[in-house]
Amino acid sequence: MYRTNYCEIDLDVIRHNVGVMRACLADGVKFLAVVKADGYGHGAVQVARAALEAGASMLAVAIPEEGAQLRQAGIDAPILVLGGIECEAAEAVVACGLTQTVFDEARILALNAAGERLGRTAQVHLKLDTGMCRIGVRTPEEVRALVKLIDSLPHVELTGCFTHMATADEDEREDTYRQIARFEALCAAIASVHPGKIIRHAANTASIFRYPQAHFDMVRGGIALYGYPPVPEATGLRPAMRWVTRAVYVKTIHPGDRVSYGGLFEAERDTRVMTVPVGYADGYRRGMTGKGCVLVRGRRARILGRVCMDQIMVDVTDIPDAQAGDEVVLLGAQGDEMIDADEMAAWLGTISYEVLCSPGKRVPRVYMHE
């Protein structure tokens, strides 16, 4: 690493956050760790291992490629692919031993054909649409038809069903209560035609803390795994990521001098400007212009002018000892100060999930307590 610019990931914090969520569960309820999108930017393989060590029973990814990456790393725990697949991907899913989400006849038949070719059985979870209106079957009639189809095929096995809560993190709760009731009705439709026991899961992260009646047989922990509470009830979590770099230059500019592209910032006094080697090509978003700040020597330094592709400039006038080589924290704690992903999201008009996924491939992940 020639440039100090990395995300520090504390895997003990991941383990801690798993424990916080599992403490909300009744005996026998399993915990699934959602590690899609490269573990929300934290590194899927390392996060998956830490979550499993802390008691997770299953992992979830968005696409088969993410599941294949975990298998290639030697992870043999059950892995659920949450999204739909193209029929051509069925063979890869079966070959990797992934559990595939299904919701229509074409994909079920494709998985059965792949299983026949490979001499294996494809495990599937049936997605039930109870109000998200994204993917999933909506009526008892559709449910029974697909379950009967699955049970008639020799190379497909129904091992679970699930839904996703659309508004569990909102103050208005009636929609979530309705979703839970619809889920129970569709689970009853499955039971009416399928004799075996399957895993039922409905609770996303917010529901883990807010809706114990939605826990069923398993819950899915996402954003809280990484330390960010989706609802006020989610207490005791700790952020696992800290984004760090080092200053490369400090200079003094004078009244009338303008900083960065377009000259958006014009100095009104002698101003000490620190140049930091991070920009939007690293995932430090251009939308931070005029809004964001960083930490230098435990104090906040605001961004001056536009965020560039590879560099930003910050005001260290009131941090008189600041100099080239100083650690600069973009996300996380330094001394008694903290910039978390929720605050950065507020600057950008987005959510913490997007901020955590933003640091790009030029920003290595460095793991503590691996």
Q: Which two tokens stand for residue 345?
A: 């999201």
Element (H, E) at 69: helix 64-72
Catalytic residue among 177, 197, 251, 261: 261
Taking the alpha carbons of 240, 43, 40, 19 in that order, is the dihedral positive or negative?
Answer: negative
Assign 229 to helix, strand or coil.
coil
Token look-up 């792949």 returns: 114
**Is position 280 annotated as part of the catalytic site?**
no
Q: Is 261 in the active site?
A: yes
- Considering 30, 36, 127, 211, which one is annotated as catalytic? 36
C-alpha 328/C-alpha 282 separation (Å) is 15
How far apart are alpha carbons 265 and 17 in whole angstroms? 41
- Angle at which helices 174-193 and 140-152 cross, to 10°: 40
Beta strands (DSSP E) in the chain are 5-10, 30-34, 58-61, 79-81, 99-102, 122-127, 156-162, 199-203, 218-221, 241-246, 249-253, 258-259, 265-266, 271-276, 293-296, 299-304, 312-315, 327-334, 337-339, 365-368
CB 237 within 8 A of CB 223: no
Map residue 73 onto helix, strand or coil.
coil
Torsion of CA 247, 251, 256, 257, to 10 degrees: -60
The amino acid occupying position 70 is L
Instruction: Report helix, strand and coil shares of the chain as percent, to nearest 5.
Output: 35, 25, 40
- Going by C-alpha positions, the residue among 129, 124, 127 that lies closest to residue 139 is 129
Six-digit token pair at 209? 């803390």
The catalytic residues are 36, 261
